[in-house]
Structure formats: structure tokens, C-alpha cells
Structure 1
Amino acid sequence: MEEQPRTRRVGILGYGELGQFLVSQLMSLGPSLGLSLAFVWTRRPEALQELPPDLRLADLRQLPSTGVALVVEVAHPCVVQEHGEDILGHADLMLGSPTALADGDTERRLRAAAARGGHTLYVPRGALWGCEDIARMDSAGTLQALTVTMTKAPGSFRAQGGCSPRLAAAWASGTRTVLYRGPLRPLCPLVPNNVNAMAAAAVAAPRLGFDGVTACWWPTQVGTRDSAWHRGGTAVAPGSPPVAPGWPHVSPGSPPVAPGWRL
């Protein structure tokens, strides 16, 4: 009797637009690819009412009983910071919020957990075009510097802390103003949902890491050439406008992220 191929069970953390898309794709196309949906978990359980009860995971402590092989996080960096170690003790983890790795302690804990559990932490390249080229140049020691420039409509930014007033002021000024230009690491906790492509660049180039990769970030203005950019556009380019005064700048100091992350 011919042995049936084993189905790989996938769990989803987060049920926003991306989480809903992944769930839909897994339910419709997963079986033909040898994949099945094990569960969906979200910080807002009421959002899962449309799903069958057996797919709603109420408590991540129940994860070991689901038989999940791969967990895909598309929620928020705090979810990985809080639960990542436990997940890696039972399954592989795909990190949709690589800005979580800007926290050195989180990076060390996740790496150690993956080694202990014999599982893999994956970082998808997402919207980072040329990721493989960046990784090859870094591995060869020929990548001396990397600047990632991102511009989005102000409504697309989910800024935290003191970022929101500065973002509103820059938008109201009607001029193109760079809100941040400097090492990537301190920017990640300020806009954790918006600079994941930049974080992927830091992972792809571990010799530079979060302290060596330069981030340049500004909001678009309606009616300008910038407004025609893809709302998640990233580019490596010279000639940025002046940095807005008062924006935090942090000099590099922490050691770079160690190589070895799976991309």
C-alpha cells in the first residue's frame, strides 16, 4: 500500500488583513500543497467568530496539543517577544515581525530556543527586493554600507510614542521632511509595524546588522512624485531631504546580529 504524503500543519498568529489572507489561502490551496490549517490565534478572540470552533486557539499554552509544525506570526513584535521561546520548543516559527529582533535580548532568547528545540526561525524577505543579493554581498564581505529608504502615506504609518505628533506636524507642513535617518535599531520600536522590510535587510546583512544598516524614513505628500510610490516602497538611494530637528539619533554601539538566520 502506497504511503500517503504527510501533511504539514500550520498555525497562524494574528488575524488582521494579512492573517485573514493566509488563512484563506491555507484553507483553499493548502491541501494541494501538503499543508493544512492547524489553528488561528489572535489577541482579539472575538475577531475569530467567523472561523470553525476547532480552528480557534484560545490559549497559546494549548499549542503543543495541536500537532502544529510551523507557526506563522503576523501579529505584532510583542507576541514573539512574549511567546516565541515557547513556540520554538514545539515548532518552527516564521517571523512576520522581524522588528522584534531589534531587541538584542529577544534575538538571543529566540536563537537559544531554536537551538534547544531543534527548530528553525524563518525571516521572510517580504517587500525587500534584492534580499538575496544583499545576503550574498554581505557573506562575501563586499557590502560596506546599506541604506534603506521608506516613504508611505501618513495614514499608513502606525507610529508609537512621540512619533505621532512629529508625523502629524511633518504632514501639516506640506513639505517633504525626513523624520528619521540613522541606525535602524532605535527606529524599530517606534514604528514596529512599518519597517519590517528594513529589519529583513538587517537580518540579510548580519555583518552590518541593526546598528550598521541606515534607515531613512519620511511621509509622502499628496500631489508630489512621492505620492506615486508604492505605499510600502523601499529603496537604496542617495539624496534624501534634511532630517527634521529634534528626531532621536542613536550612534551605533551594540554588536551586530549574528549570522545564521534562515531567510
Structure 2
Amino acid sequence: MAQAEAPRCRRVGILGYGQLGRFLAQQLLSRGPPLGLALAFVWARDGARLEELPPPLRLSQLCPLAWAEVDLVVEVAHPCVAQEHGEDILAHADFMLGSPTALADPETERRLRGAVARGGHTLYVPRGALWGCEDIQRMDRGGTLAALKVTMTKSPQSFRPEGWLRERLAAAVAAGTRAVLYEGPLRPLCPLVPNNVNTMAAAAVAAPRLGFDGVQACLVADPGVPDCHIVEVEVTAVGDKGRALRVTSTRRNPAAPGAVTGDATREAFWRSLLACRGHGGCVQLC
């Protein structure tokens, strides 16, 4: 009787080798093989940091050949990677978008969704620190979600702002007090702090009826929270007889001083990576 052929390992490439990329690479090397996962390559914008990895795992440049040799590409670098290479990746492999702030650009979202429809691969969006993700999705799909607001509070040193928000943060640091850096629709905020508000972007994906224009964002710099990131999610839904249902959750994620990513987010991304399998061509929260 012929012996059954062992299932092939799912090959994973990682784009980005900061805190998250390094953690995911280590998990794939140590915990991946028994789970049917193999690390295929790692790329970093600063390639010098890859020297701690074996040479065969270092990807020197982004190219179609790399995507053709893997089943899943995980981006944990910067939204510009998805904007420049996302379509090409989705033509060959599933794509876990660790920087969903890239989708705040309507043209990028249109191109990536089009690539999903054409190629049959899945665009995965990790939930990150978004608590109650499934409940938000169900309310949105049922048409009862009326409002969604996400407030993120971090130490001033944890933000990496661009444009005019950099000046506002500098003023807050000089004052040494708690300051609301931004409050309003999510879409304009994403390009100003693309590495800090991916949890908010995940909320916009979970609630497409509201989307990046309807989801409300509040960004707070507070020197009184140097060792954690606080994410507050406020959900308003329309209940029976028009009465409103309101739910607020608060998540305190331990974080090293000045860290962009909280401690628990690393494990959350690993769990998201494990969920990136078998969904077919769609956009899928994981």
C-alpha cells in the first residue's frame, strides 16, 4: 500500500525586520515546522539588520520571483510597501497586510481589492489590538452599527508622526502634559502616523459601512503612561425600537518605553499569521 504523501509546508516570507518582523521570524523558525509553516525569506528596508539570519533567508530586493516561491507574504514594515508591491504580491500569494493604514488611500484600496478579485488570493488584515472585532463585524453586516470610535493613548515617545502632527506632538512634549493630538475621521490621520494607528485601520476594515471616513479616531499623547498603550473602543448600535446599544472596551497593552508596538501585539500577530489559510480570494480580518 502506497504511503500517503506528507502535506507540503506553507512557505512564508516576511517584509520588515523591526520588532514585529523579528518576532515573527523567530516564531516561524522555532514553532513553525510542526505547524506546517516554513520561513522562506525576510526583507528589511535596512538590510544590514538581517545579518543575524542565515544568508539563504535574506531577501536583498523586492521582486516578483520572491512572491512566486511562497504561499504567504507578511508585511510588517511600512504602508508604502503595500502601496508599491501589494498588487504584484497578490498576483502570486496571499498577503497579510500588517500596515492596513495603506488602505486609507482610496487608490491603494481599489488596486488591492482588484488584485484579490483577479488572482484569487486573500488579503489578510490582522486585528492587532482591536478588541471586539467579530462583534463589530456582525453589527456592521447586520446594518445596526451606528458609530465607532477608537481612542489610542500612548507615551509621546511612542509616536512616529509626520507632517503637521509632528509639530503638535513637539508642543505636547514641551508642555509635558496630556494632549489630544487629533480627533476626527480616521482617513486623514492614517498618513500622518502610519505606523501608530493600524488598530484603527483594522476597525475601518471590520466596519466597511463606516469605513475610513465614518470611523472616528482620537489620538492622545500622555507622559503619564510610559509603559503601556491604551486602546479604547466605543461602539454604538441601533437596537429594538430605535434604542441605542453602547459598548466601551478598554485595553491596556504593556509596552517598553518609546515602543511603537505593545508587548501583547506580537503574540496577536503570530495568531493572525496562523489564521492566514483557506479563505479563498477575499479581504479577511485575521
C-alpha change, 1:64 and 1:172, in structure 2 (3 Å) is closer
8 Å contact 2:41–2:56 — kept in the other structure?
A: yes
1:235 to 219, 232, 235: 232
Equivalent residue of 1:179, what SS? strand
TM-score by length of 1: 0.86
* Residue 34 of structure 2 is aligned to residue 38 of structure 1: no
Identity over aligned residues, as a percent? 69
What whole-Å deviation, never above 9, does each CA across 1:209-252 have from its counterpart, x for those lacking one?
A: 00000001110133xxxx27732x210359xxxxxxxxxxxxxx
What whole-Å deviation, never above 9, does each CA across 1:106-137 have from its counterpart, x for those lacking one?
A: 00001111221111100011110111111111
Deviating above 6 A after TM superposition, structure 1's stretches of 4 or more consecutive aligned residues are none
Count of residue correspondences = 237
Q: Which blocks of at least 5 consecutive residues in structure 2 are unaligned?
A: 235-247, 249-281
Q: CA deviation at 1:171?
A: 2.5
Matches within 5 A, 1:185-204: 185-204=187-206
CA distance in 1 between partners of 2:181 and 2:34 (Å): 46
Matches within 5 A, 1:95-134: 95-134=97-136
8 Å contact 1:14–1:43 — kept in the other structure?
A: yes
C-alpha change, 1:20 and 1:147, in structure 2 (3 Å) is same
- In the other structure, the counterpart of 1:138 is 140
Whichever residue aligns with residue 126 of structure 1, its letter is G
- In the other structure, the counterpart of 1:168 is 170
8 Å contact 2:67–2:73 — kept in the other structure?
A: no
Matches within 5 A, 1:65-104: 67-104=69-106
CA RMSD of aligned residues (A): 1.6
Equivalent residue of 2:160, what SS? coil
Q: Which blocks of at least 5 consecutive residues in structure 1 are unaligned?
A: 239-259
C-alpha change, 1:96 and 1:4, in structure 2 (3 Å) is same
8 Å contact 1:42–1:75 — kept in the other structure?
A: yes
TM-score by length of 2: 0.80
Matches within 5 A, 1:175-254: 175-222=177-224, 227=225, 230-231=228-229, 233-237=230-234
8 Å contact 2:68–2:92 — kept in the other structure?
A: no
Equivalent residue of 1:11, what SS? strand
Q: CA deviation at 1:165?
A: 1.7
Q: CA deviation at 1:163?
A: 1.4
Structure with the higher fraction of residues in strand conformation: 2
Q: CA deviation at 1:62?
A: 5.0
> In terms of mean alpha carbon deviation, does 157-166 or 96-105 score higher?
157-166
